[in-house]
Amino acid sequence: MENRRVKKIRVMVTGLPGKIAESIADWIAKIPDMILLPFTLSEEPGKLWVGQNEIWQIAPEYHRDRLRDISPDVVVDLSDFSHTKCKKRNCQLYCDCNIPFLVVNAIKDSGFLREVKKSGLSAFIVPQDEIQEILEAIRLLKARGSGSRVMTIRLKKKKL
């Protein structure tokens, strides 16, 4: 019998603190094939707890450098749902750092979506109430890697 070691998916969650972000981060931390990285992008430096996990908040002036240092396999962006400008800024940062990402809640800006597609990164846009689809999208992003051209999509809503 072959003993294959499966590499775990290193996931960083942004949008902490926040109820949805905390729920998803706590869930990711409990999934055997994923590792919740102990960092989040934030407007203020500091630290917080998500379940049993200590998370360091990275101040804006360090976002780019820390993302490159941390090098997550996937970023799940759960930043403020009401501020499209914040989402666009974060997504541009992920494109610049060549990190596959998943944005929760739709960005309805076709020009921006074209820019994400041109970056060549794997990216998904997922409605916030589709937790199971978020986890599946994380696995797909890891499987496809950062070099493949994948259309940004919105997953179909399924009942759990």
Domain map (residue ranges) of the chain: 13-144
Task: Compute the average pLDDT of residues 7-16.
Answer: 89
pLDDT for 155 equals 40
For the cut 90, the answer to whether the pLDDT of residue 131 exceeds it is no
Task: Compute the average pLDDT of residues 103-121.
Answer: 71
pLDDT for 55 equals 96
For the cut 60, the answer to whether the pLDDT of residue 60 exceeds it is yes
The neighbour count for residue 105, using CB atoms within 10 Å, is 20
Q: SS3 letters for the chain?
A: CCCCCCCCEEEEEECCCCHHHHHHHHHHHHCCCEEECCEEECCCCEEEEECCEEEEEECHHHHHHHHHHHCCCEEEECCCCCCHHHHHHHHHHHHHCCCCEEEECCCCCHHHHHHHHHHCCCEEEECCCCHHHHHHHHHHHHHHCCCCCCCCEECCCCCC
pLDDT for 82 equals 53
Q: Does domain 13-144 have CATH number 3.90.1560.10?
A: no
For the cut 70, the answer to whether the pLDDT of residue 115 exceeds it is yes
pLDDT band at 109 (very low <50, low <70, confident <90, very high): low
pLDDT digit string, tens, across residues 82-92: 566 777 888 88
For the cut 70, the answer to whether the pLDDT of residue 21 exceeds it is yes
